[in-house]
């Protein structure tokens, strides 16, 4: 099968993304898409995933690679208290990347975007030595809402999580140890994290004071909230320990010779939502700590992590 032209590939991707099926003034195929964006605030972010840096093609299928980067972008939009609307995708494709793989990559992007009603409206394809994917996501915030910023944490806020962190890190550990067969479920979390978008919407609806999605690790993102707001965050390891799946994850950590707290506190890419709130705790959220005067992030009951130079810890306090 000879490789189709860029035009043919774009025509096919345009079909997969189905941008023509929604009521866009202009979708894929002109110099730019034309978007009916309402008078409310528009939110925009961009994220990139590069082969060998963010993923390995022997570990993740093109579908996984597409859905995972899409999830990362959508999580950023939700973390602003916004609803995702449109995506633009660029990709550098290596010579051995087949049309079937490109189709799967596109379907991975679309399957994740479909979960929240976002639509791919444009992009660009190039060749390249390694697979590199870049996604820009746009979203809107209702006219009666404000964006939820990292800087909004107030002293006295409860610190809440939408779910347990560390499952993606656990999956990566299983893959690295060549024990993927044994740990299928957590490996799936690494390949294609399930982002709890509806919980993020609940957080926004409940008017949390600050919100962030956990891309780089709970501690790292907690530091972002702390630094942006000029407050301290105190996290109770005992409250994390009480969360569903913690014991399961602990068993898996033991079996893989890993420290569960490395996973939970510094593991990235789960895109769990971390927020602080002075209002009622949204249904299904987990309280893990509080916002205190001062600076930095304190984790009560866990020894210091090797990988967090900016964090102070207190053991068994």
Based on CB atoms, which residue is closest to its own copies, 54 or 189? 54
Answer for which of 18, 147, 296, 301 binds its own copies (CB under 8 A) is: 147
Residue 36 binds its own copies (CB under 8 A)? yes
Please report whether residue 53 would count as binding its own copies according to CB under 8 A.
Answer: yes
Q: Are 298 and 226 within 8 A, CB to CB? A: no
Residue 82, both tokens:
């916004």
Decide if residue 175 touches its own copies (CB under 8 A): no
25 touches its own copies by CB under 8 A: yes
DSSP string, 148-164: --GGG--TTPEEEESS-
- Candidates 51-59, 175-183, 247-255, 299-307: pick the segment binding its own copies (CB under 8 A): 51-59
Q: Which of 116, 121, 218, 235 binds its own copies (CB under 8 A)?
A: 121
Q: How far apart are CA 223 and CA 167, in angstroms?
A: 20
By C-beta, is 122 or 267 nearer to its own copies? 122
Q: Quick one: 50 or 206, whose CB is closer to its own copies?
A: 50
Among 13, 19, 43, 258, binds its own copies (CB under 8 A): 43
Q: Is 101 in the site for its own copies (CB under 8 A)?
A: no
CB 16 within 8 A of CB 114: no
39 in contact with its own copies (CB under 8 A): yes
CA 138 to chain centre: 15
What burial letters (b/e) apply to 251-263, b meaning 16+ CB within 10 Å? ebbeebebebbbb
Only one of the segments 24-32, 190-198, 244-252, 291-299 lies at the binding site for its own copies (rule: CB under 8 A); that segment is 24-32
Report, in Å, the least distance between residue 87 CB and its own copies.
10
- The single residue among 54, 63, 64, 189 that binds its own copies, judged by CB under 8 A, is 54
- For residues 81-113, one letter each, b for 16 or more C-beta atoms within 10 angstroms of the residue's C-beta and e for the rest, the string is bbbbbbbbbbbbbeeebeeebbbbbbbbbbebb
Q: How far is the CB of 220 from its own copies (least distance, A)?
A: 10
CA distance 122 to 136: 10
Cβ distance 277 to 225 under 8 Å?
no
Closest distance between its own copies and the C-beta of residue 185, in Å?
Answer: 28
Does position 91 interact with its own copies (CB under 8 A)? The reply is: yes
Nearest to 123 by CA among 131, 114, 133: 133
Is 298 a binding residue for its own copies by CB under 8 A? The answer is no
Q: Does 82 bind its own copies (CB under 8 A)?
A: yes
The single-letter DSSP state of residue 28 is: B
Q: Which of 9, 10, 149, 292 binds its own copies (CB under 8 A)?
A: 149
Tell me the backbone φ, ψ of residue 312, rounded to 5 degrees: -110, 145
> DSSP string of 120-187?
EEEEEEEE-SS-EEEEEEEEEE-TT-----GGG--TTPEEEESS-S-HHHHHHHHHHTT-TTTTHHHH
- The residue within the footprint of its own copies, chosen from 13, 19, 49, 249 (CB under 8 A), is 49
- Which stretches of the chain bind its own copies, using CB under 8 A? 25-26, 29-39, 41-50, 52-54, 75-77, 79-80, 82, 86, 88-92, 121-130, 132, 134, 136-139, 141, 147, 149-151, 211-213, 228
């Amino acid at each position: 099968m000879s490789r189709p032209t860029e035009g043919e590939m774009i025509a096919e991707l345009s079909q997969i993304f189905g941008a023509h099926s929604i009521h866009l003034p202009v979708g894929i195929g002109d110099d730019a898409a034309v978007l009916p964006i309402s008078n409310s605030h528009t939110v925009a972010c961009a994220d990139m995933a590069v082969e060998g840096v963010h993923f390995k093609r022997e570990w993740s299928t093109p579908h996984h690679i597409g859905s995972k980067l899409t999830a990362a972008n959508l999580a950023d939009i939700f973390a602003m208290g916004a609803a995702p609307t449109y995506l633009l995708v660029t990709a550098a494709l290596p010579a051995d990347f087949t049309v079937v793989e490109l189709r799967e990559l596109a379907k991975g992007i679309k399957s994740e975007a479909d979960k929240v009603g976002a639509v791919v409206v444009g992009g660009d394809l190039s060749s390249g030595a390694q697979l590199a994917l870049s996604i820009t996501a746009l979203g809107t915030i209702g006219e009666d809402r404000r964006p939820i910023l990292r800087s909004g944490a107030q002293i006295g806020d409860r610190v809440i999580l939408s779910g347990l962190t560390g499952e993606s890190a656990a999956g990566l550990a299983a893959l690295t140890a060549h024990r993927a067969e044994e740990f299928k479920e957590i490996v799936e979390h690494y390949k294609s994290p399930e982002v709890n978008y509806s919980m993020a919407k609940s957080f926004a609806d409940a008017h949390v004071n600050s919100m962030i999605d956990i891309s780089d690790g709970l501690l790292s993102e907690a530091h972002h909230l702390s630094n942006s707001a000029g407050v301290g965050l105190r996290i109770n390891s005992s409250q994390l320990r009480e969360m569903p799946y913690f014991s399961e994850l602990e068993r898996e950590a033991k079996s893989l010779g890993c420290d569960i707290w490395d996973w939970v506190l510094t593991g990235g890419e789960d895109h769990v939502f971390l927020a602080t709130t002075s209002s009622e705790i949204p249904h299904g959220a987990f309280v893990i700590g509080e916002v205190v005067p001062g600076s930095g992030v304190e984790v009560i009951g866990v020894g210091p992590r090797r990988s967090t130079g900016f964090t102070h810890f207190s053991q068994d306090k």
